[in-house]
């Protein structure tokens, strides 16, 4: 089947999509957007988190056909050209990126948190990121990065 | 594999009637896992996302009618007042990403004994609205909906349209045992709902039997012996816990042993009753 939807502001379509295929597969393998990572394929790790019509979801659990006519925003769509989003910047500066595999999902999820709660408490950050697994950094630097991004966003 | 995209409820019912083997997909948080892991390859997926009315909830005829496509995140944000037990349980489901997609309707459709929405629906006395093109609407009480592990009373040509839940008239609590705070499938869970007007207490057990179920003897005990004007006696709370534990019929599995689950259900029952009872007495005193 053919699936047409808007990705990071651009109309895209993919042909010969298998009906059981996930949005994640379409993004990575058909549209060349490898930012969203494929790890668990069961919604446990959060590495494939993208916005679907403005709401963060696990792309591995969305059937490709379900995005027909809808809007998807991936980690690639957060930066404006070469200018990183404050969340991306903060992750780099705080050393919240180690192997980098979980980073895109964490960044999208943290981005959504700060859109909804500009000054989140630590408990709110922890709850918002509860579905994103990291096996390297131990989360402290990730928490630092989210706090830094929040303070920068507020200063703007 | 076919991918069916009805845009109205009538089209969805027609698609299910014409292809009863098609698998409805709402948030995809169960269905896509099975497809990704090749556990099951259904002949057709019936995507209900475009049936807009399924995403709505309303107060109708004194009941809260929650569309089958209402995600947990909306239950948490909007239904904590009328449906506190269901909202509490919804907040324990998966991660924010999962709560943004997963639905109570999907939980019912999957009918897993571990589904977090089942215990509060049982405790509140909910009913499931299902419909088929040929036979129209049926209302199935939650207590009759679950038929076995991942089996429900839903017929192959039927779809779940909504769940009807009486709004809370008293305190409700949901409690769940897991190995960490977030992202856990329940080792076991328990829901309680006080119905002060009827002098009745509703219960729901999760992950503690082949199906979610009520603890009927425990409910009968409280109906007979609870003094709604007085503090809860420790002895009565303990007997309630024991009868709830006796209603459990769990198995040993990767998440916990049967013996542990029986024990934990007793503890959860006793504690949630105490929490609810404290709220009840405070409200009376106020």
Facing residue for A60 by CB, picked from B5, B32, B182: B32
Q: What is the pLDDT along chain B (286 residues), one digit of tens a residue?
A: 999 999 999 999 999 999 999 999 999 999 999 999 999 999 999 999 999 999 999 998 999 999 999 999 999 999 999 999 999 999 999 999 999 999 999 999 999 999 999 999 999 999 999 999 999 999 999 999 999 999 999 999 999 999 999 999 999 999 999 998 888 999 999 999 999 999 999 999 999 999 999 999 999 999 999 999 999 999 999 999 999 999 999 999 999 999 999 999 999 999 999 999 999 999 988 8
Within its chain, how far is the Cα of A149 from the centroid? 16
User: Domain for residue B270, yes or no?
Assistant: yes
Whole-model pTM: value is: 0.96
Q: What is the pLDDT of residue B167?
A: 98
Facing residue for A130 by CB, picked from B44, B47, B95: B95
CB B118 within 8 A of CB B149: no
Q: Any idea what the CATH number is for the domain that residue B230 is in?
A: 3.30.390.50
How far CA B267 is from CA of B8, B88, B93, B272, B274, in Å, comes to 46, 18, 21, 9, 11
User: Domain for residue B254, yes or no?
Assistant: yes
User: Domain for residue B114, yes or no?
Assistant: no
User: Domain for residue B44, yes or no?
Assistant: no
Tell which of A2, A54, A66 to mutate to test the B interface (max B CBs under 10 Å): A66
Structure ipTM: 0.96
CB atoms within 10 A of CB B209: 19
A residues 33..52 contacting B (CB < 8 A): 41-44, 46, 49
How far is residue B100's CA from residue B84's CA, in Å, rounded to a whole number?
Answer: 18
**Which structural domain range is residue B219 located in?**
183-285
Q: Domains in chain A and their CATH numbers?
A: 3-76 (3.10.20.30), 86-155 (1.10.150.120)
For chain A, list residues with pLDDT below 70.
none
Looking at chain A, which residue has its C-alpha nearest residue B94?
Answer: A131
User: Domain for residue B268, yes or no?
Assistant: yes
How far CA A34 is from CA of A26, A37, A101, B123, in Å, comes to 10, 7, 11, 45
Count of domains for chain B:
1
User: Domain for residue B58, yes or no?
Assistant: no
User: Domain for residue B235, yes or no?
Assistant: yes
Q: CB contact, 8 Å: A60 with chain B?
A: yes
Q: What is the pLDDT of residue A42?
A: 96
Q: What is the pLDDT of residue B214?
A: 98
Q: What is the pLDDT of residue B62?
A: 95
Do B3 and A132 count as a contact with CB atoms less than 8 A apart?
Answer: no
Facing residue for A131 by CB, picked from B33, B49, B95: B95
Tell me the shortest Cα–Cα distance from B7 to chain A, in angstroms: 12
Q: What is the pLDDT of residue B118?
A: 98
Question: Cα(first)–Cα(last) distance of chain B, in Å?
Answer: 60
Q: What is the pLDDT of residue B238?
A: 98
User: Domain for residue B152, yes or no?
Assistant: no
């Amino acid at each position: 089947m053919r699936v047409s939807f808007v990705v990071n502001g651009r109309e895209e379509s993919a042909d010969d999509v298998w009906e059981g295929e996930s949005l994640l597969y379409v993004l990575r393998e058909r549209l060349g957007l490898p930012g969203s990572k494929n790890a668990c394929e069961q919604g446990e790790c959060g590495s494939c988190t993208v916005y679907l019509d403005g709401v963060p979801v696990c792309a591995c659990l969305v059937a490709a056909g379900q995005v027909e006519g809808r809007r998807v925003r991936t980690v690639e769509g957060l930066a404006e050209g070469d200018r990183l989003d404050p969340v991306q910047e903060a992750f780099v500066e705080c050393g919240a990126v180690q192997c980098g595999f979980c980073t895109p999902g964490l960044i999208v999820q943290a981005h959504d948190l700060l859109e909804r709660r500009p000054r989140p408490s630590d408990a709110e950050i922890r709850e918002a990121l509860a579905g994103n697994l990291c096996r390297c950094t131990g989360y402290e630097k990730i928490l630092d990065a989210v706090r830094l991004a929040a303070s920068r966003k507020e200063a703007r | 594999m076919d991918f069916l995209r009805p845009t109205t409820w009538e089209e969805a019912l027609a698609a299910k009637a014409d292809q009863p083997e098609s698998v409805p997909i709402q948030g995809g948080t169960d269905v896509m896992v099975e497809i990704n892991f090749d556990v099951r390859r259904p002949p057709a997926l019936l995507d209900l996302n475009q049936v807009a009315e399924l995403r709505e909830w309303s107060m109708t005829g004194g009941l809260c009618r929650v569309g089958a496509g209402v995600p947990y995140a909306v239950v948490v944000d909007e239904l904590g007042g009328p449906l506190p037990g269901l909202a509490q349980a919804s907040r324990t489901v998966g991660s924010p990403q999962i709560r943004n997609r997963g639905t109570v309707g999907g939980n019912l459709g999957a009918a897993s004994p571990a589904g977090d929405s089942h215990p509060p629906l049982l405790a509140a006395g909910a009913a499931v609205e299902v419909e088929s093109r040929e036979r129209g609407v049926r209302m199935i009480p939650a207590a009759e909906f679950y038929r076995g592990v991942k089996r429900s009373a839903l017929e192959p040509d039927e779809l779940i349209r909504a769940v009807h839940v009486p709004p809370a008239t008293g305190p409700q609590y949901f409690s769940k045992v897991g190995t960490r705070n977030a992202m856990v499938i329940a080792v076991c869970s328990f829901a309680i709902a006080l119905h002060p007007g009827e002098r009745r207490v509703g219960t729901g057990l999760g992950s503690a039997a082949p199906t979610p179920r009520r603890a009927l003897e425990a409910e009968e005990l409280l109906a007979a012996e609870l003094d709604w004007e007085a503090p809860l006696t420790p002895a009565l709370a303990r007997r309630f816990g024991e009868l709830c534990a006796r209603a459990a019929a769990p198995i040993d599995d990767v998440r916990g042993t049967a013996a542990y689950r029986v024990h934990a259900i007793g503890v959860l029952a006793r504690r949630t009753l105490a929490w609810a009872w404290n709220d009840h007495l405070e409200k009376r005193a106020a």
